Amino acid sequence: MKKTAFITGIAGQDGSYLSEYLLSLGYRVTGIVRRNSTVEHQRDRIYGLPIELEYGDLIDQGSIERAMRLFKPDEIYNLGAQSHVRISSDIPHFTVQTNAMGVLNMLEAFRHIVPNAKFYQASSSEMFGSAVDEDGYQRETTPMHPVSPYGCSKVFGYNIVRHHRNAYKLFAANGILFNHESPRRGSNFVTNKVVKGAVEISLGLADKLEMGNMDSFRDWGHSKDYVRAMHLILQQDKPEDYVVATGETRSVREMCEYVFGKLGLDYQAYVTQNPKFLRPEELPYLRGDSKKIRTELKWVPEYSFENLMDEMIAHWQEIYSTK
């Protein structure tokens, strides 16, 4: 029989790739979207997909319960979040309500309405914050010292998932995902901002790019590889938490060098710093050790950093060629 997946954050970057992936595996795919005053672009990433949508909000417990009763899912993917770290300092209350209380709302609806389903929580490497193991990696056992309202909210989500798993014997698991990007990434996240800006400069449409901290390091993978990991985590007999990462790390500066270089430009001639893009407290370094998911679940990423960036560059070049 067809399995039903219920995805929150279905219209986001990961939600859209996960929907496509699950549809390709024969799933019935369902999800919630928030009410928005302009509907035109809200569903661009999932436009035309044969999925079932209802209005809902992680903060609105009734809407979650309604969706859970209506869809009766076998697998629940809680991807909905205020996902921008810097903006989480501007709207901390909304961030915490959505990313922390929203997880509890989902877990309670899951526990009371469809307790035999399997639950995936979109946890984040931002939870590690300033903590790094001595060998320079973060892994499942690394302590969590979050440095943003976003990171703090995700730590609550992570812990309440573990609590519900232990207390009520539910299948609830965390994927601790490091940064993952794609052409569908919001253009106020650093990779897509740099790629879009560099393509505009290469076409004479802009002459500079204002950035924040160029010296933080991130472990960047492709969203398509990471949604396969989410699905794999729910196909196991036992619920467990897994780090998902490439194991490589690069600075924002190195990323700029690569992207501008691909376009025949020297980034130093165009990139300036605007304090507006700095964070009240920065997370300087992320590099994930994903040995557990690679050995136990045989997860292997298909994209390299270069393939990922090249795909994003081609995406923006195509957009501007048709304008």
State the residues that interact with ligand NAP by CB under 6 A: 8-9, 11-15, 34, 36, 57-59, 79-83, 98, 102, 122, 124, 177, 179-180, 186
C-alpha R_g of the chain: 19
The single residue of 88, 126, 267, 270 carrying the catalytic annotation is: 126
Q: Which residue has the tokens 């709302």?
A: 105
Q: Is 202 a catalytic residue?
A: no
| Number of Cβ atoms within 10 Å of the Cβ of 215 | 11
Closest distance of CB 28 from ligand NAP, Å = 20
Q: Which long-range contacts (CB under 8 A, 24 or more apart) does 203-206 make?
A: 203/320, 205/320
Interaction mask 70-109, ligand F7E, x per CB under 6 A = -------------x-xx-----------------------
Told to check if 287 binds ligand F7E by CB under 6 A, we report no
248 is catalytic: no
Which among 39-47, 70-78, 211-219, 242-250 is the span making contact with ligand F7E, rule CB under 6 A?
A: 211-219
Residue 234: strand, helix, or coil: helix
183 contacts: CB under 8 Å, gap ≥ 6: 192, 311, 312, 315, 316
Report the DSSP beta bridge partners of residue 6: 30, 76
Q: Which is nearer to ligand F7E, 64 or 243 (CB)?
A: 243
Binds 200, which of ligand NAP, ligand F7E, none (CB < 5 to 8 A, cut-off by type)? none
Measure the CA–CA gap between 6 and 73, rounded to whole angstroms.
Answer: 6
Question: Would the CA dihedral through 104, 109, 114, 119 be positive or negative?
Answer: negative
Q: How far is the CB of 74 from ligand F7E (least distance, A)?
A: 26
Residue 190 sits in the site that holds ligand F7E (CB under 6 A): yes
**Measured from the CB of residue 190, what is the shortest distance to ligand F7E in angstroms?**
3
Shortest separation between residue 140's beta carbon and ligand F7E, angstroms: 15
The DSSP line for 82-95 is ---TTHHHHSHHHH
Token pair, residue 252, equals 């924002």
Q: Choose the one of ligand NAP, ligand F7E, none that binds residue 186, judging by a C-beta under 5 to 8 angstroms depending on kind.
A: ligand NAP
Q: How many angstroms separate the Cα of 155 from the Cα of each of 41, 122, 146?
A: 31, 11, 8
Nearer to ligand F7E among residue 115 and residue 136 (C-beta): 136
Catalytic residue chosen out of the listed positions 77, 137, 150, 267: 150
Angle 182-184-190 from CA coordinates, rounded to 5°: 65
Residue 124 bears catalytic tag? yes
Q: Does 142 bind ligand F7E (CB under 6 A)?
A: no
- The active-site residue out of 19, 124, 223, 290 is 124
Classify residue 179 by its DSSP letter: P
For residue 59, the partner it binds in ligand F7E, ligand NAP, none, with Cβ less than 5 to 8 A by kind, is: ligand NAP
The entry of ligand NAP, ligand F7E, none that residue 190 binds, CB within 5 to 8 Å by partner kind: ligand F7E
Rounded-to-integer distance, Cα 80 and Cα 12, Å = 8
| Residue 246 in contact with ligand F7E, rule: CB under 6 A | no
Residue 18 binding ligand F7E, by CB under 6 A:
no
DSSP 19-80: HHHHHHTT-EEEEEE---S--TTTTGGGTT---EEEE--TT-HHHHHHHHHHH--SEEEE--
Shortest Å, Cβ 203 to ligand NAP: 26
Q: Select 79 or 313, whichever has its Cβ closest to ligand NAP.
A: 79
Where does this chain bind ligand F7E (CB under 6 A)?
83, 85-86, 124-126, 178-179, 188-190, 193, 211-213, 216, 218, 252, 277, 279, 282
Which active-site residues does the annotation give? 124, 126, 150
